[in-house]
Amino acid sequence: MLELLEEKGLLVPKKQQLSNYLTSLREKCYDDDDKPWVLKYQIEYEDEINNDDDDDKNKFRFFVTTKRLFNASISNNIHIDATYKLSWQGFPCFIIGTTDMIKQFHPYGFAVCSNEKEKDFEFIFSCIRDGLRNLNLQMNERELVFIADGAEAISNAFPKVFETDRNIVMRWFHMRKRVEKKLNLVDDKALHNEIMNDIETL
């Protein structure tokens, strides 16, 4: 930076002056707890993609959050789901967050990926892990409980990032909805309530 200023014939500040200015600028621009920031992003071009990937098209991934969201969201529960009700340029948004003791949801942030595959979920989980570490927030990875639907891509990605698969929990809402859709395959309508009651008991 100093060399560029010299080349342009501008007054060159002392290194300490420049350092002080950059520190104050960083605080002004980036240290607002509610200012959205891209925690991490990835862009993969088709000629760089590994051949064992079943989709060799261009890919992108990014994760947006704020410092306040991360600071307020220290918990052992992680929820994740993609939604097409909220989308960006036709791509689904992934909502990632946690729940507290009174079952209220607190988002860590959101991600947008060009796919919904295992590598996309690995990226999202690594954002959570690395983001908490970068902010010096403690999280016991061995006690994490991961809650999602039964999608294989999500379930496979979690242990790759957090190195544990002991605490993966199926989201009850999704399971119940799928069973309700299949109840029409049972001819005896009287059994419908019994089946749902048995599942509730389990």
- What is the C-alpha R_g of the chain? 23
Q: Which of 125-129, 158-162, 168-172 has the lowest mean pLDDT?
A: 168-172
In the predicted model, is pLDDT for residue 29 greater than 70? Answer: no
Same domain, 27 and 89: no
If you average pLDDT over residues 2-25, what whole number do you get?
79
Same domain, 142 and 201: no
Q: What pLDDT is recorded for position 111?
A: 93
Structure tokens at 184: 């029409």
Same domain, 119 and 157: yes
Same domain, 140 and 199: no
Q: What pLDDT is recorded for position 128?
A: 82
Residue whose token pair is 């509610």 = 34
Residue whose token pair is 């999500």 = 154
Same domain, 201 and 104: no
In the predicted model, is pLDDT for residue 154 greater than 60? Answer: yes
Same domain, 21 and 42: no
Over the stretch 112-123, which tens digit does the pLDDT of each residue have? 998 888 899 999
In the predicted model, is pLDDT for residue 64 greater than 80? Answer: yes
pLDDT category of residue 137 using cuts at 50, 70 and 90: low
Distance, in Å, from the CA atom of 48 to the CA atom of 60, rounded to the nearest integer, reads 13
Same domain, 185 and 128: no
| Stated pTM of the model | 0.64
Residue 107 near residue 69, CB atoms below 8 Å:
yes
Question: Which residue did the predictor score with more confidence, 127 or 84?
Answer: 127
Q: Kindly report the three-state secondary structure assignment for every residue of 122-189.
A: HHHHHHHHHHHHHCCCCCCHHHCEEEECCCHHHHHHHHHHHCCCCCEEECHHHHHHHHHHHHHHCCCC
Distance, in Å, from the CA atom of 15 to the CA atom of 200, rounded to the nearest integer, reads 67
Same domain, 54 and 149: yes
Total number of domains in the chain: 3
Task: State the residue range of the domain holding 121.
Answer: 33-170
Same domain, 17 and 79: no
Over the stretch 31-51, which tens digit does the pLDDT of each residue have? 677 888 888 899 988 777 665
Strand partners, 113: 61
Same domain, 18 and 52: no
Q: What pLDDT is recorded for position 38?
A: 87
Over the stretch 164-176, which tens digit does the pLDDT of each residue have? 666 667 667 767 7
Nearest to residue 131, comparing CAs of 200, 60, 66, 34? 66
In the predicted model, is pLDDT for residue 24 greater than 60? Answer: yes
In the predicted model, is pLDDT for residue 53 greater than 60? Answer: no
Q: What pLDDT is recorded for position 63?
A: 93
Mean pLDDT, all residues of the chain: 78
Q: Residue 82, Cβ neighbours under 10 Å: how many?
A: 22
Structure tokens at 7: 């080349």
